[in-house]
Structure 1
Amino acid sequence: MSTAQELDRRGRRRQQTIDEILDVAVELMEAEGVAALSLSAVARKVGMQPPSLYQYFPSKMAIYDALFQRGAEQVLEAQRKARAEATTTDQRELGLVGITAFSRWCIQNQVLSQLLFWRTVPGFEPSPEAFAPAVDGLQDLRSYLEQSVAAGLLHPDAASDDGLALYTAMTAGVLSQQMANEPDATYENGRFTRLMPVILDMFYERYKPTRGKK
């Protein structure tokens, strides 16, 4: 076996171990709580000594950072895939497609959702690299709102920083209520997630094209 092949094999093996560590971390966070993650518990469940774990993650915050990036990449991919496969060109319908994909992912990945959208770990701040997919997601949202403005469906203020803040606060608020009160419900059956179409209607009403005109 050549040196390059050996290095490639080692790289794959290392990545497999990293993925296993992260999967185990999520399992433990589901059982014990996001902020209660223990490196020793992760090492035991993976089948290695804690010092060996440090070869992959030097600290608990490093594991949180890797999980933040994993979650941010997944939720971004879920929304982009849903919009790409949508059979409509109607802007409001595309908005609901995006919200639905986002909400379903959050409900199916509640541990990562807590890490991404609610500050459940004191002192944790994602690195710029881990946060980059989240920035891309916000830019996708701004682009969607700008397209709705260009189509004459929204006032230009909808694509402003305040517009994005209101949009994300409304959707995240509904999801927070859903996961706090009915964590086992599906998106379609959730008492709060069923309101997502209403949330979108409220946003469009708030930023209707005639806003501010008398």
Structure 2
Amino acid sequence: MKDRRARRRAETQEEILRIALDVMAEEGVAALTMATVARRLGVQPPSLYKYFPSRAAVYDALFERGQLGYLHAVRQAAEGMEPGLEAMGASLEAGARWIMGNQVLAQLLFWRPVPGFRPSEQAYAPALGIHAHFKGLIEGAVARGEVHQDAAGEEGLALAASLIAGVVSQQLANQPEAGYEDGAYTRLVPRLPGIFAASYPCRGKGRKMPGERVN
């Protein structure tokens, strides 16, 4: 009996999250209300609070789900590859493809469209895994002599995140209906590892490091 109730509860929670995504896609991520979800589910609004105590809790569950999906995509893309720029490129492409296929969740994850919403520690944990994943790939690139060691610092990680965020932001702003291969901006993703490497060239290759003085 308890297993049956737990299964029903899980199924209802899944349905609530599915409906919430539909509402966010149709009306905007910040336009989600518990009343709208309840109406579409065919229940009174107070009934929803048995499954999610607030609208923020719904956002939190979706945020965690999205981060887990993105983390799985970038990890799977680099599986079996040596850490380095090639694996970084594969992960960046997989992440961009995931975003194009999950645009509503991506807005919640990366663009802060809901005033006042802050993910819980549990929901944010996969984001730390994403950070660690790319840090490991960049450290691998350093070990392989593909980039300078400074690339593995926080500034380098911020640059890598900014490069992919800039591309997908432009894509979603200008051509949200385009496929990954057809997008005017997503087609630039394969160039990003090279742009990143050019920002942190190894010494001895005829180029100076950013900010480095030439004697």
2:25 aligned partner: 30
Distance 1:55 1:153 in 2: 53
1:174 aligned partner: 167
Distance 2:61 2:37 in 1: 14
Distance 1:67 1:165 in 2: 24
2:193 aligned partner: 200
**Which of 62-71 and 203-212 deviates more?**
203-212
Distance 1:160 1:91 in 2: 15
Shift of residue 89, structure 1, vs aligned partner: 4.2
1:53 aligned partner: 48
Runs of 4+ in 1 over 4 A off after TM superposition: none
Shift of residue 104, structure 1, vs aligned partner: 0.5
2:114 aligned with 1:127, yes or no?
no
1:141 aligned partner: 134
Structure 1 unaligned blocks of 5 or more:
1-5
Distance 1:134 1:8 in 2: 32
Q: Which amino acid aligns with 1:197?
A: P
1:115 aligned partner: 108
Distance 1:144 1:82 in 2: 12
Q: Which amino acid aligns with 2:157?
A: L
Shift of residue 93, structure 1, vs aligned partner: 2.1
Shift of residue 13, structure 1, vs aligned partner: 1.3
Q: How does 1:36-47 map to 2 (within 5 A)?
A: 36-47=31-42
Q: Which amino acid aligns with 1:73?
A: L
Structure 2 unaligned blocks of 5 or more:
none
Shift of residue 136, structure 1, vs aligned partner: 0.6
Name the count of aligned residue pairs.
207
Contact 2:67 2:109 in 1 (8 A): yes
Distance 1:209 1:113 in 2: 34
1:156 aligned partner: 149
1:190 aligned partner: 183
Shift of residue 199, structure 1, vs aligned partner: 2.1
Q: Which amino acid aligns with 2:180?
A: Y
Contact 2:83 2:139 in 1 (8 A): no
Shift of residue 179, structure 1, vs aligned partner: 0.3
TM-score (normalised: structure 1): 0.93
2:95 aligned partner: 102
Distance 2:53 2:11 in 1: 17
2:70 aligned partner: 75
Distance 2:133 2:117 in 1: 25
Q: Which amino acid aligns with 1:153?
A: E
RMSD (CA atoms): 1.4
- Which of 2, 9, 16 aligns to 2:11? It is 16
* 1:160-186 deviations in Å (ceiling 9; x for gaps): 000011110111011000001000111
Shift of residue 90, structure 1, vs aligned partner: 7.6
Q: Which amino acid aligns with 2:136?
A: S
TM-score (normalised: structure 2): 0.92
Q: Percent identity?
A: 48
Q: Which amino acid aligns with 2:199?
A: R
Distance 1:147 1:92 in 2: 8
Contact 2:93 2:190 in 1 (8 A): no
